Amino acid sequence: MRRGEEGKGGVVFLVDVDHTILHTDLARLVQVVRLRKMLGRATNELFREIYDSLKRESGVVDVLGALERFQEKARLKEPTLARVKGIFTEFNYRRYLYKGAQEVVAHLTRLGRVYFFTEGHPLIQWRKIRSSGLDGHGVLAFRIAKESHIDRVAGWCPADHYLYR
């Protein structure tokens, strides 16, 4: 049994997914290129405006919320909408893991409990973790608004020590 597995005590590692274990900027660039190829420059710009506006309003990334608003304005037909949504929901993040990330996470799970921090729509974030292969390490993954809610973690996963990065 690992240290802290009983739910109390031990060490909890709080791991930020974006820009720490996943090269999120590169993944987003690939998604943007795919979106531009599919929609064309003007329609892609409309999506980016909606996406950025929603991010400013809510403070977190919400691709599916942006797609919902985008659908209302762009009036995409269902096959195209499904393909656009697939760019985000079916994206393979494994290719964007930083070198050695899986090994580090596997090592951390031997030392304590690992919790992933990531922002955005829960479905997208869960699929991001699954497609990257990180869920195979027996770690618990959840969505949270990162730094602004770290103090709530103690109620979810009591530990003697917390390490965040």
Write the pLDDT tens digit of every residue in 56-84. 888 777 888 888 898 888 888 888 889 99
User: Measured at the alpha carbon of residue 16, what is the angle toward residues 83 and 12, in degrees to the nearest 5?
Assistant: 130
- Sheet strands side by side (includes 161-164): 140-141, 113-117, 11-16, 161-164
DSSP state of 100: T
Task: Indicate whether 79 and 127 sit together in one domain.
Answer: no
Check: CB of residue 106 under 8 Å from CB of residue 11. Answer: no
| Per-residue pLDDT at 98 exceeds 50 | yes
Which residues partner with 140 through β-bridges? 115
Give the percent of the chain with pLDDT over 90.
25
The mean pLDDT value for 13-36 works out to 90
Single residue among 89, 108, 135 that ends a domain in this structure: 89
- Residue 102 and residue 81 share a domain: no
- CATH number of residue 18's parent domain: 3.40.50.1000
Number of domains, the chain: 2
Domain boundary among 65, 89, 113: 89
Single-letter code of the amino acid located at 71? Q
Q: What are the tens digits of pLDDT across the range 108-141?
A: 989 988 888 777 777 888 888 889 988 876 565 5
Asked if residue 2 is part of any domain, the answer here is no
Phi, psi of 43 (to 5 degrees): -70, -35
| Structural domain span for residue 45 | 24-89
Indicate the residue among 49, 64, 89 that finishes a domain.
89
Band of residue 146 on the pLDDT scale cut at 50, 70, 90: low
Interatomic CA distance for residues 105 and 94, integer angstroms: 14
